Amino acid sequence: MKNFQLSAVRTTGTAPPPTHSTPDSPRADGIRLAHVARRFGSGDAELTALRDIELEVRAGEFLAILGPSGCGKSTLLQIVAGLLAPSAGEVLFRGRPVTEPPEGMVYLFQQYTKSLLPWRSVAGNVALAFEADRRLTRQQVHARASEYLGLVGLAGFEKHYPWQLSGGMQQRVAIARALAAEPRVLLLDEPFSAVDALTRVELQALVLELRRQRGLTVVLVTHDVDEAVFLADRIAILSKRPTVVEEIVETRIPHPRDAIETRELPRFLELRHTLMERLLGREPRP
């Protein structure tokens, strides 16, 4: 466990080249949001959370969606995931409209304590993602759960229960379970906001490493500028409600990213500065 954490903070290897596949190829994992809007309530109480979202997620990229609190970031991600229907517009994944959670896409919840099943062991929680597959024997199910737990540094914790683990470890279980569904696209809803600062650094490194190993497309929703700049290849900046995409920024920060050194790069500091200014509504410095 200790060794793993140390090695995980410094991600290794090189970033995958963003696979710019043709948008209309059905195998491409790209996502397109066309005029997505979402309203809640009706009549006088009607609230327009999302006004008109135009956004493209390229296959293989790490896209951060950054916006102030209450701008509908989570709503947006739930629409992408097929968990929530848009009031207007549509989401296309692999060229097909998303109407329910599609195969190849998994949503990771911010509230890992609510997302894990307290009556199941850690291995049982991971197995939830694939145990319906009748071709697998009990032993195979268990072996596969162990394998995914190993990926997130939780080998040996199979028989523990979620409530016996720290917050960071619980979120690792949730990550292992998400990976166990064999997704091509990982949707992260502020997954590190409920853990302490050091654990957050470790989990960020873990996600970057897993994404590299498995060539995943990742969409991250966050209000944390530092996190968005550190993790993402591109950052979509959302306006206040009613929300639109204001701008998309390429981070142009090289991989592999290091928890300490990357944050000292001039490009990192510059980007963080301008994005903070925008989110806080300050005038840019001359």
Partner 1 sequence: MSRARLVERWLPGTLAVAGVLAAWELLGRGGTLNPALLPAPSVVLATLVDVVRDDALAPPIARTLALMATGYLIACACGIALGVAMGRSEAVHALMEPLVELVRPIPKPALIPPLFLFLGIGLQTMLFIVVLAAFFPVLINTVQGVRGVDPVLLDTARTLRLSRRATVLRVVLPAALPMVATGMRVSLGLALTLVVVAEMLAGENGVGFLILDMQRAFQIQKMYAWLVVLALLGLLLNGAFEWAERRALPWRAHLS
Return residues touching partner 1 (CB under 8 A).
Answer: 78, 81-83, 100-101, 103, 105-107, 109, 111, 114-115, 117-119, 128-129, 132, 161, 163, 177, 181
Q: C-beta of 180: minimal distance to partner 1 in Å? A: 9
Structure tokens at 49: 């959370």
Q: How near is the Cβ of 48 to partner 1 at its closest, in Å?
A: 22
Residue found under tokens 């109480």:
45
DSSP string over 169-214: HHHHHHHHHHHHT--SEEEEESTTTTS-HHHHHHHHHHHHHHHHHH
Nearer to partner 1, 163 or 285 (CB): 163
Residue closer to partner 1 by CB (options 65, 181) is 181
Q: Are 11 and 259 in contact (CB under 8 A)?
A: no
87 versus 113: smaller Cβ distance to partner 1: 113
CB of 106 to partner 1, least distance (A): 6
For partner 1, which is the closer residue by CB, 70 or 118?
118
Least CB distance to partner 1 at residue 101 (A) = 5
Q: Beta strands 88-93 and 62-66: pairing type?
A: unpaired
We find the least distance from the C-beta atom of residue 223 to partner 1, in angstroms, to be 19
Q: Which is nearer to partner 1, 207 or 271 (CB)?
A: 207
Nearer to partner 1, 40 or 250 (CB): 40
76 CB-near residues (< 8 Å, 6+ apart): 33, 36, 38, 50, 53, 65, 221, 238, 243
- Distance CA(59)–CA(99), nearest Å, equals 20
Q: How far apart are CA 267 and CA 44, in angstroms?
A: 46
Give the closest residue to 76 by CA, choosing from 195, 230, 188: 188
Q: What are phi and psi of 34, to 5 degrees?
A: -115, 115
Question: Rounded to the nearest whole angstrom, what is the least distance from the CB of residue 132 to partner 1 in the complex?
Answer: 5
For residues 240, 242, 243 and 244, what is the CA-based torsion angle, rounded to 10 degrees? -120
